[in-house]
Amino acid sequence: MNVILLGAPGSGKGTMAQKLTNDLQIPQISTGDIFRKNLKEETPLGLQVRDIMARGDLVPDEITIEIVKNRLSEADCRNGYILDGFPRSIVQAEALDGFQQISAAVNIDVDEDAIVKRLSGRRFCPDCNGTFHVSTLGDGNICPACGGKLIIRADDSEETVRERLRVYYKTTFPLIEYYKKQGKLITVDGNGTVDEVYARITAAIGK
């Protein structure tokens, strides 16, 4: 099953992708994680995308498409995958259609107010890529999953969050119509607890 998770930044794509990966035993392909890993390791790609990500802009389509195309050609993607954060533009979606057959695009629909609240309280673990919310963490800044030190992602600052949302509505939101036209769109209410949203997604994709 080749599934795309669509949704605004902070809609829960990463959290849902991780759960699906565990349950369905197919990999989560997160372009954001790939870029962050390159940033951390200061690879040429990392240096190339650093300022773009810090501003909340999108990495150019040609670069992103090439990375995903290579990643999806690896053996572990043969039985399916969860795409988290890709495609993020019509150009990316059209390119993807050129080299992959997509089963479903799940749009996680969350109110904008809730998104701003989620992102501004978000904490990230660079060791295990886990994402948590301050409301569930108590006082500490220790990752409940692996014991790593939690950080605030540079692109979760208020100014960058606003820019990421602007970019989302302008460039990524049209993908909802794109997959609707293909008959592949499944919209799921993304408000509520992680377990509630996850149950809606698994029911919607029949897993």
**Active-site annotation, residues:** 13, 88, 122, 153, 164
Q: How far is the CB of 58 from ligand AMP (least distance, A)?
A: 4
Dist. CA 159–CA 93, nearest whole Å: 28
Q: Assess 86 for contact with ligand AMP (CB under 6 A).
A: yes
Name the one range near ligand AMP by CB under 6 A: 21-29, 54-62, 98-106, 116-124: 54-62
Residue choice 45, 52, 114, 142 for contact with ligand AMP (CB under 6 A): 52
Dist. CA 94–CA 96, nearest whole Å: 5
121 neighbors 135 (Cβ within 8 angstroms): yes
**Identity of the residue, 26 or 65, whose beta carbon is nearer to ligand AMP in the bound complex:** 65
- The token duo for 117 is 């609240």
Dist. CA 186–CA 190, nearest whole Å: 12
35 neighbors 78 (Cβ within 8 angstroms): no
Q: Where are the alpha helices (DSSP H) in 25-60?
A: 31-40, 44-55
Residue choice 58, 72, 104, 185 for contact with ligand AMP (CB under 6 A): 58
Q: How far is the CB of 156 from ligand AMP (least distance, A)?
A: 9
Residue choice 12, 32, 130, 190 for contact with ligand AMP (CB under 6 A): 32
Phi, psi (degrees; rounded to nearest 5) at 156: -100, 10
Q: Assess 130 for contact with ligand AMP (CB under 6 A).
A: no
Strand, helix or coil for residue 106: strand
Residues in touch with ligand AMP (CB under 6 A): 9, 31-32, 35, 52-53, 56-59, 64, 85-86, 88, 92, 155, 164
